Chain A
Amino acid sequence: MEAETRNRPSFANIKVDLGAGDRIIAEAGAMASMSSSINVTTRWNGGCFGAFLRRIFGGETLFVNEFTTASQGELVLTQPMPGDIECIELKGTTLFLQPGAFLACEPGVNLGLGWAGIASFVGGEGLFRLKVSGNGKIWFGAYGGIFAKEVEGEYVVDTGHLVAYEPSISIRMGMAGGIFSSFFGGEGLVTRVTGPGRIYMQSRSLDGLAAWTNGQIW
């Protein structure tokens, strides 16, 4: 299987060339186009109960599609929002994704749900996070560009910008500065991440866009 992320970073999509016997799993609705030789099987995203949990708390779709072919074919996967798509190869490692970021994975990857904590919820990052582990490639998307950062010690990320992080990263919510600067400086709550480990951030925030749009309407 060959996969290429095209049209980066604004309107990224994945072009996948499937060979005989190759498989790729993508969230429902991610397929933009495909060869007629490709078969699609739809199933619950980790069992009925698990799918509902992932939908409600992980922001994922209720169903996932598995694409296979007996010969060969081309498949294009995309995400609903404009922005970049990142591919990571898991080698027995784990990655946490923020709700809604997951796009596709190879069959060796396991999808689970991890408790993120009340502090994460208060900071607008969700009570749960999607946990991907195992061996194989995963693709996740974001609004805007995606950039990685190796964190050693503490690092501050504005809420809504954190997309993915390794399990070795600890997260806590806090104010950007003092009470005055936090509330009047426009930063409010921030995510304080502590390494060692790698985090992935998005260059734009959907919450920020929503707030800006609301401001234009009213």
Chain B
Amino acid sequence: MFDDDFLDGEFEGGVFSKDIDGGRAGASIRMDDLGLIALLSDGEQFFLSYSECNLEIGGASGRMVFCRNDDRSLTIFCEDKKFTAALERASGGELLERLEEINATGRRRSLAGQFGFWGFLVGCALLLVGGWYGILWGARAAVPHVPFTVDQQLGEAVYEQALDEVAQMTGEEKVTLIEDDAVRLPLQKLVDDLAVHSRMPQVKFQVLVCDTEIPNAVALPGGRMIVFRGLIDLVETPEELLAVLAHEMSHVTLRHHLQSIGESIGVIVALDILVGDVGGLVALGAEALRAAALMSKSREHEHEADLEGVRMLHKAGIDPAHAIGMLESLPHGDIPDALDWLSSHPDIEERVAAIRKLVDELPPRAYSPLDFDLEGLRAAMRNRVVPAEDAPENKDGDRKKVNAADAKPENEKREEALAK
């Protein structure tokens, strides 16, 4: 059945002819009852009858159809997939035999091309996945060979930035550190006692306490730890507080910060190899490094820190089940990712399940309660001495040292009184 619509169809193609300036030009190809008509953009037309049309297939794609006259002085070519079907119908069967051969060749080449293309895509996907895991593995393998002094220098370099990040999260202009020894020293002793049970007992941790309501703690590379006042207020037992600190100490002893930086460098190097001119990407890379050094940690790192923290508690003779209680009592909802202990990735339930599994697998031993005066610490925080520069002005406009309770703004004091 002949479809008249084909006679009205146009195909994008081209013409080779010595009559064209340059010998070739793009053309719109049409078909009539007698042959092919190629119309050039300047209005010039070329005609090739079906009777003198020799068909060939080739071209870069392997699917281009060439219609050539006997002396090859005129060639009309087209790559459109529907071209051969239209030609078959328009020529009324005159070119049928040759077109069938061409279609068969075209199908074979198309299949081979598709096979190659999809093979390439699968290869690329495998290379990407393999490359990613290679980078992760490489970063982990390299970190043990880097001296710990690098972690310490890194921690020193990002310390001020870390304080700024904490201030930004809490909406404060500047983070206030509680430098009162009555607050800091008990926490320092708590950490020092636990540190001997870590994988790197030689690490000297330095505890800092910041006057921030958010219940959290952050460890910086090298061993500096920032404990938030909100965490001390939130925990119900000293063991829960220690569970959080153990988690943060684990990030340091497992050297997660350096691993994150190694992964970021690996990605940048891979991009550099793959893409070449990464001028604009270098700035992004520097940002990634900074973020990695500060607080960003992967799902795997959080899991590892949870489990290592549990092992440390177990070794220290503290019941690691307190870590579960602490996680379960956390306020759920919108939690900033950068706040490590509260990190919403992985999911809290997932973390609890993993810890519970490890706790069940640990060899049984007798646990003893932690000898730590949590209430005394809280009282010390309330009654701590506020440096003169942080104290409110008196009637005469002067500042002097006061205790923390007195340093509170009047509205906060009123709210506390009402609550009581």
Contact = CB atoms under 8 A, between A and B. Distances in A.
B45 to A, nearest CB: 15
A96 B60 contact: yes
Contacts of A167: 59-61, 64, 79
Interface in A32-79: 52, 55-56, 61-62
B113 A28 contact: no
Contacts of A7: none
Given A62-B275, A117-B113, A196-B16, A92 B25 contact: yes
Given A118-B119, A165-B60, A55 B72 contact: no
Contact of B41 (A55, A91, A116, A166): A91
Contacts of B274: 56
B23 A150 contact: yes
Contacts of B83: none
A127 interface: yes
A115 interface: yes
A127 B120 contact: yes
B376 interface: no
Secondary structure at the B interface, as helix, strand, loop or mixed, is mixed
B130 interface: no
A181 interface: no
A4 interface: no
Contact of A92 (B27, B60, B75, B275): B27
Nearest to A114: B60
A92 B59 contact: no
Contacts of B22: 89, 91
Interface residues of A, number: 34
Interface string B42-68: 000000000000000011111010101
B66 A196 contact: yes
Given A55-B275, A118-B116, A118-B119, A170 B59 contact: yes
Contacts of A165: 60
A117 B115 CA distance: 10
A171 B60 contact: yes
Contacts, number: 79
B341 interface: no
Contact of B277 (A61, A92, A96, A152): A61
A92 B42 CA distance: 11
Most buried by B among A62, A150, A168: A168
Contacts of B120: 118, 127
A194 interface: yes
Interface in B8-26: 14, 16, 22-26
Contacts of B24: 93, 166, 197-198
B133 interface: no
Interface in B276-318: 276-277, 280
Interface residues of B, number: 31
B228 interface: no
Nearest to B75: A196
Contacts of A152: 72
A117 B116 contact: yes
Interface string A166-208: 1111110000000000000000000000101110000000000
B117 interface: yes
B144 to A, nearest CB: 33
B77 A168 contact: yes
A11 B37 CA distance: 44
B75 A170 contact: no
A17 B77 CA distance: 37
Nearest to A171: B60
Given A93-B25, A117-B113, A150-B23, A168 B59 contact: yes
Nearest to A134: B26
Contacts of B16: 168, 196-197
Nearest to A88: B22
Contact of B66 (A93, A117, A168): A168
Contacts of B41: 91-92, 135
A96 B26 CA distance: 15
A11 to B, nearest CB: 23
30 contacts: A55-B277, A56-B275, A62-B275, A90-B26, A91-B22, A91-B25, A91-B26, A92-B14, A92-B25, A92-B26, A93-B14, A93-B24, A96-B60, A115-B116, A115-B117, A118-B116, A118-B119, A127-B120, A129-B60, A167-B60, A167-B64, A167-B79, A168-B58, A168-B60, A169-B59, A170-B58, A170-B62, A196-B66, A196-B75, A198-B24
Interface of A: 28, 52, 55-56, 61-62, 89-94, 96, 114-118, 127, 129, 135, 150, 152, 165-171, 194, 196-198
Given A114-B60, A170-B59, 11 more contacts: A28-B277, A52-B275, A55-B277, A94-B26, A115-B117, A118-B120, A167-B64, A167-B79, A168-B64, A196-B75, A197-B24
10 interchain residue pairs of minimum CB distance = A92-B26, A170-B58, A118-B116, A93-B26, A167-B60, A168-B59, A91-B25, A55-B275, A170-B59, A167-B59
